[in-house]
Amino acid sequence: MLKYVLKRVGLALITLLIIVFLLFWLVRVMPGNPFPSERMNDIQIANKRAEMGLDDPVLVQFARYIIKALQGDFGNGTSLYYGVPINTVLSKAIGNSFRIGGIAIVIGTLIGLLLGITAALNRGKFLDGFCTVFSIIGVCVPSYVFLIFLQYNFAFRIPFFPYFFDPNRFVFSSVLPSLSLSLFTMSTIARFTRNEMVEVFDSDYVRLAESKGMYGRTLVLRHVLRNALIPIVTVLAPLVVDLLTGALVVEKIYGINGIGKLMVDAITGEGIDYNYVLALGILYSALYIGVMLAVDLLYGVLDPRIRVAAKGEEA
Amino acid sequence: MAKKNIQPAAAAAQSVYTPVPGDFELLHRRDIRTDANFASQSYWKGVFTHFFKNKRAVVGLIIITVIILLALFGPIMNSYDYKDIVQFRNEKNKRVVAKGIAPRIPGLHKLLTGEEYDDSFKDLTFLFGTDDLGRDLWTRTWYGARVSLAIAFITIFIDMIIGMSYGLISGYFGGLADNIMQRFVEIANSVPRLVIVSVLAIFMPKGMALVVVALLLTEWIGMSKIARAEMLKIKEQEYVLASRTLGARNSHIIFREILPNTIGPIITQVMFSIPTAIFTEAFLSFVGVGIVLPHCSVGTLIEDGFNNITTLPYQILPPIIVLALLMLGFNFIGDGLREALAPKLEDM
Amino acid sequence: MKKLFALLMAAMLLVTCAFTAASAEGEKYLGVMLSTNVMSLDTNLATDGESFEVIADCIDGLMQMDANGAAIPAIAESYDLSEDGTVYTFHLRDAKWSNGAAVTANDFEFAWKRIAKEAGEYAYLLDTSVGCIKNADAIIYEGADPETLGVKALDDKTFEVTLEVPVSFFPSLMYFPTFYPINEEFYNSLAEGTYGTSPETFLSNGAFVLEDYAPGTASLSVKKNDAYWDADSIKLAGIKYQVVGSSDNALTAFRSNTLDVVTVSGSQVGAVEKDASLSSQLKVTGAGYLWYLTFSQTANNANGYLANKNLRLAITNAIDRESLVENYVMDGSLDTYTAVPPQFAASSTTGEDFSADQDQFLDYVGFDPDKAAAFFETAKAELGQDEFTFTLIYGNNEGDEVAKVAQAIKADLEDLLPGLTVNLQPMTKSERLDKMQNDNYEIALTRWGPDYADPMTYLGMWITNNSNNYGFWSNAEYDQLIKDCTTGAYITDYDARWAALLQAETIVMQEAVIAPLYTKANANLIASGVNGIQFHPVALNRVYKAVVLE
């Protein structure tokens, strides 16, 4: 097992390097300047580009970037928070996004599972129908529309929650954005759980378990849910990455300094901030690769028959 | 089985089994029911029969059909055009624009309240109202539904063809093949869509084609993950081993033996990737690489409605309801298909 | 597992309740909306109005703005001007930085030389197109030694600035943040890239000190500076800024009393006006920006068709600007028919607004379908072409109304000029600028805000080879007029210069170099009880020094 994990981590580093290079090259191909340029003339722009080393061959720039990045220096902002080291800005934004996204994942997964299980146990009855309609609405209504609704009702009409995000009252002011972000996850998980469990309930081995006299919670949790978890974990994994890496509109509406907004600002702001795009790209890829590795390992735990690793790699 | 009972399929599915000579001897009970004999009709015919026996599936089919019909004919059901601003010049030569009008049917309004609307457009009917530019939302909603329906079907296609095959193959072969294929997924998924699409936009015209390319780049990934997970689970089961031992070809095992058993989560995944794709299109259109104004889609209409949510709150409702109905329809159809395609769900 | 989650949820609820009690604050701060994040508090790097506003809260320059936008003394108690009008000697008052150090002439010398050396976005304010500080051009564009810049600290309290030529509006430049001082010793004591990134790394000598700020933050606050030289006249305890990304959200934030000063979108103004209590709190102020269409007039684009003057005139006469501002912009913006927008540059001799008369160019620009059609017919004949298709590019992140304006223009043009097709193409501002700067567009919807209170901030853009001359238009007579006004014959004769500027503007309009559309206004909601916020279309959009809370 350890050997397999180490091998995957090694591969992940290579994958990451490829991704960073692709991104490094692509942002330089994109139209636009890496700094605001409305009031600069051609000479100034050329000087700025030279100063940033943009005239060197891409490979040279890339090598320079990688060497610095390995030392933990991801450069300074050029079109966002000018001149400030990216690490300073990112550390705060990552903290905010991870915590709000984290809460959203927990809420979404828990309620989604509960809804799904309830629906599956009441198959064909009212609760099942409710769950279906709820999940469909949940994926059709964008999270920011839901947030506006929550904000209007629970921060304005009934002024219980703060109207904007306040880092000094973190948990309290995360409730509304987390709740709205969890809606999509909740709906997806509920639907997958319901459909999977219904299918597992119909399978031969559950019938066998039933016929052996197993019933109730043991049956549902030990046999049905466990077997239904594989697709659930699979759909949950990318959602986890997406939620952790922030949501542009929700952050904008609720005044959250998060990485979703940073990423879009870096691309669509006064210029294209290469350094931010790269740093955030690395963060996203690393998270994605890590979560996917975790999922592959989890498969083996959920169903011991599954072997993702090739023979000889397990130990 | 001694002799195959050749009967019309529908009848076989319904009728009480009638013993024939040479058959096994029946027990003493005469009212015994047997399995519907699906082997006696073609697989797809069975699917078809089952699908249409499912009430919800039929309702779903009706919903989708109605939406398609409205998308085709809705925009021509009144005199407005999706891109024309309803306006006229008054006696002072000032432009009067029919913007921000809530849904209205003048005749009905008069019937209920006995009054007429007190503005310049009192005789005009706007079933869904008008937007903040003064365009009829009924026309725009159904016009936009065309784009979004296209996106929905393209997504289904991408998911079912690319995503499913990719995931099944990756999961089935495992080892090195899986390793390479999954690393490729990680790379494809990690370049921000905004970056890759902006670069693509240099080489190809912005518009629907670019949206489709953008969807092709990443939209299949979720599906491939699901298909792969299912494959990993199922390929270790005994019947696959049996099939392999009997010398079945890989393609036969993947697509004929395993695929039907993974269809449940796959259909669920298809259903849930549709709204994501519709919103992706809206996002791409907003940043200027998707469909171009004044064209619209359900996704862009929702974004427009969201931008005016405090001032023109009715504006967001039609596109959201259309999207929800679309999803409901697709989900009902999906559920129906799931049950029809996986016979083990059928009451036997 | 389930129990753990249950515990977690319970804990969350508890914390929620614990924090419900509103944190008690001392004196009330003014809650103000910012529409974008503050990008930098470094005067060399800041480029946006939000950053300038916060910098100006905390730092005083040599001069400051009075309620009408005129320059009045701030750190400079007084100044002398040499007889030839090229040497300004500023006499500094006793003022202190927030770390106790005295504000000296060296702080200005250091800061200005730094601006010239770094040659950033706003360095052009020093060069011969605007400030005309001696040797600025050589330093900014040719990399000459920054020490040669024509500024000198004669002693701690005397700051001398030498110009290449007299600049009539030079004192009013002094309130622009680019010309603000930085304490050299403090700056040098900080690690690179950390100046202005937190209250600890930022010094103020102005009305407020930074209280809570970090780059990227969506909320920040400043509090009253008791050591400010004019502290007695500052009545406000502090300002709490909140970035509100969607203007739609601003109105509800205002109604919930979260914010006292917000800018609402045009589409909300109608709703605000219908509400009696809200409408009394509505205040429309000029934002200065002129929105206009610029045409690429080179052969590279659109087959060079837009180089045809009559075609451009046809377009500019086919746009119903009145309907545009009334129906789509709706925030009190003014339909504009001059290349220099009204309400920001008034003559210092007559006091008259440069663009007060919006009808003076009606022969060339206005809304006249018949004239538009006539111009179009001429253009068709001249170009031997009956059908034209142009792409109009505009920014998708430059305000709620921009897409609406673009669509309305498309509708107008296609309606009134049969044969003309306009395709819309939204893109990011950065991409739009890139396309415009590299002459890779056909028609663009763009804007320009005045950096200083002189018509030159607009008219200087259309000289040959200026980087903001996006049409790549060139006219020798025009170039000469502008040259005479900046460094030539008219620099000492104010009224003659004014007349020459008008003459230059006439050429721009005659040639339809641009099609002016509207001058942007902001629809502000200001909570009743908040008095004394000064709004300006130039340089600093909002000044809080005179604010009194009731």
pLDDT tens column, B125-184:
788 888 888 888 888 999 988 888 888 889 888 888 899 999 989 988 888 888 899 999
Q: Which of C421, A267, C410, C425 minimizes the C-alpha distance to B291?
A: C425
Chain B residues within 8 A of A294 when measuring between CB atoms: none
* Angstrom distance (rounded) from CA A252 to CA A154: 18
Cβ within 8 Å, pair A88-C252: no
More reliable by pLDDT, B63 or C10: B63
Neighbours of B313 (CB within 10 A): 11
Neighbours of C408 (CB within 10 A): 25
Confidence of residue C280 (pLDDT cuts 50, 70, 90): very high
pLDDT over 50 at C545, yes or no: yes
The DSSP secondary structure of C414-436, one letter per residue, reads: HHHSTTEEEEEEEE-HHHHHHHH
Tell which phi-psi region holds residue B247, choosing left (phi > 0), alpha (psi between -120 and 50) or beta.
left
Neighbours of chain C (3+ CB pairs under 8 A): A, B
Distance from CA of C523 to the nearest CA of B (A): 15
Is B18 exposed, middle or buried, given 0-12, 13-18 or 19+ CB atoms closer than 10 A? Answer: exposed
pLDDT over 50 at C21, yes or no: no
b/e C339-374 (16+ beta carbons within 10 angstroms → b): bbbbbbbbbeeeeeebbeebebbeebbbbbeebbbe
* Phi (first) and psi of residue C23, to 5 degrees: -70, 130
* Angstrom distance (rounded) from CA C110 to CA C96: 17
Confidence of residue C154 (pLDDT cuts 50, 70, 90): very high
Confidence of residue C59 (pLDDT cuts 50, 70, 90): very high
* Phi (first) and psi of residue A226, to 5 degrees: -60, -40
* Angstrom distance (rounded) from CA C478 to CA C467: 16
Distance from CA of C251 to the nearest CA of B (A): 9
Predicted confidence at residue C33, as pLDDT, reads 94
Q: What is the three-class DSSP state of A302?
A: helix
* Residues B267/B285, Cβ–Cβ less than 8 Å: no
Cβ within 8 Å, pair B309-A31: no
Predicted confidence at residue B41, as pLDDT, reads 62
Residue-wise pLDDT tens digits, C122-141: 999 999 889 999 999 999 99
* Angstrom distance (rounded) from CA C350 to CA C498: 11
- Mean pLDDT across C91-99: 94
Cβ within 8 Å, pair C248-B311: yes
Q: Is the dihedral of CA C174, C175, C176, C180 positive or negative?
A: positive
Range with the poorest average pLDDT among A46-55, A154-163, B264-273, C45-54: B264-273
- Mean pLDDT across C461-466: 91
pLDDT over 60 at B278, yes or no: yes
* Angstrom distance (rounded) from CA C126 to CA C185: 24
Confidence of residue B280 (pLDDT cuts 50, 70, 90): confident
DSSP state of C335: E
* Residues A27/B199, Cβ–Cβ less than 8 Å: no
Confidence of residue B312 (pLDDT cuts 50, 70, 90): confident
Chain C residues within 8 A of B206 when measuring between CB atoms: 425
Picking from B182, B306, B324, the nearest residue to A145 by CB comes out as: B306
Residue type, C191: A
Neighbours of chain A (3+ CB pairs under 8 A): B, C
Neighbours of chain B (3+ CB pairs under 8 A): A, C
The strand ranges marked E within C244-320 are: 261-264, 282-295
Tally the C-alpha atoms within 13 A of residue B112's C-alpha that lie toward its C-beta. 7
- Mean pLDDT across C217-224: 92
DSSP state of B6: -
Predicted confidence at residue A67, as pLDDT, reads 93
* Angstrom distance (rounded) from CA A314 to CA C365: 79
Distance from CA of B268 to the nearest CA of A (A): 7
Confidence of residue C6 (pLDDT cuts 50, 70, 90): low
User: ∠ at Cα C510 (C508, C514), nearest 5°?
Assistant: 45
Predicted confidence at residue A43, as pLDDT, reads 87
Residue that the structure tokens 């696959």 belong to: B240
Give me C364's structure tokens. 């060339």
C434 contact B CB<8A:
no
Predicted confidence at residue C15, as pLDDT, reads 46
Residue that the structure tokens 């111009």 belong to: C375
Size of interface A-C (CB pairs under 8 A): 165
Q: Which of B207, B222, B205, B200 minimizes the C-alpha distance to B155?
A: B222
pTM of the model: 0.88
Helix ranges (H only) for B160-249 are: 164-173, 175-190, 193-203, 208-218, 221-234, 238-245
Q: What is the three-class DSSP state of B251?
A: helix
- Domain boundaries along the sequence of chain B: 51-76+143-347
Residue-wise pLDDT tens digits, C473-484: 999 999 999 999
Predicted confidence at residue B12, as pLDDT, reads 45
Chain A residues within 8 A of B176 when measuring between CB atoms: 310
Range with the poorest average pLDDT among B66-75, B297-306, C1-10: C1-10
Domains and CATH numbers, chain A: 89-268 (1.10.3720.10)
Predicted confidence at residue C3, as pLDDT, reads 52
* Phi (first) and psi of residue B88, to 5 degrees: -150, 170
Confidence of residue C527 (pLDDT cuts 50, 70, 90): very high
ipTM here: 0.88
Domain spanning B51-76+143-347, CATH class: mainly alpha
Stretches where chain A sits below pLDDT 70 are: 214-217, 308-315
- Mean pLDDT across C178-183: 95
More reliable by pLDDT, C462 or A124: C462
Residue-wise pLDDT tens digits, C509-524: 999 999 999 999 999 9
User: ∠ at Cα B229 (B227, B234), nearest 5°?
Assistant: 90
Is C77 exposed, middle or buried, given 0-12, 13-18 or 19+ CB atoms closer than 10 A? Answer: middle
Predicted confidence at residue B17, as pLDDT, reads 66
pLDDT over 90 at C441, yes or no: yes
Give me A5's structure tokens. 């994990």
A153 contact C CB<8A:
no
Predicted confidence at residue B3, as pLDDT, reads 43
Is C391 exposed, middle or buried, given 0-12, 13-18 or 19+ CB atoms closer than 10 A? Answer: middle
Q: C30-238+527-549 in CATH: which number?
A: 3.90.76.10
| Torsion angle (degrees, nearest 10) of CA A23, B162, A116, B325 | 100
pLDDT over 70 at C9, yes or no: no
In CATH, C288-521 is 3.40.1190.20 = no
Confidence of residue C19 (pLDDT cuts 50, 70, 90): very low
The strand ranges marked E within C296-355 are: 334-335
Every domain of chain C with CATH number 3.10.105.10 lies at 288-521
Averaged pLDDT of chain B: 80
Distances (CA, A) of C191 to A78, B36, C10, C196, C197: 18, 81, 45, 11, 11
Range with the poorest average pLDDT among A218-227, C151-160, C331-340: A218-227
The DSSP secondary structure of A57-99, one letter per residue, reads: -HHHHHHHHHHHHHTT---BBSSSSBTSBHHHHHHHHHHHHHH
* Angstrom distance (rounded) from CA A266 to CA A260: 10
Averaged pLDDT of chain C: 89
Q: Which helix (H) or strand (E) holds C526?
A: strand C514-526
* Phi (first) and psi of residue B93, to 5 degrees: 60, 25
Q: Which of C324, C470, C521, C335 minimizes the C-alpha distance to C409?
A: C324
Cβ within 8 Å, pair A257-C218: yes
Predicted confidence at residue A312, as pLDDT, reads 46
Chain B residues within 8 A of C271 when measuring between CB atoms: 310-311
* Angstrom distance (rounded) from CA B167 to CA B159: 10
C267 contact A CB<8A:
no
- Residues with Cβ within 8 Å of residue C74, at least 6 apart in sequence: C60, C61, C62, C63, C64, C175
Q: What is the three-class DSSP state of C141?
A: helix
Residue type, C437: Q
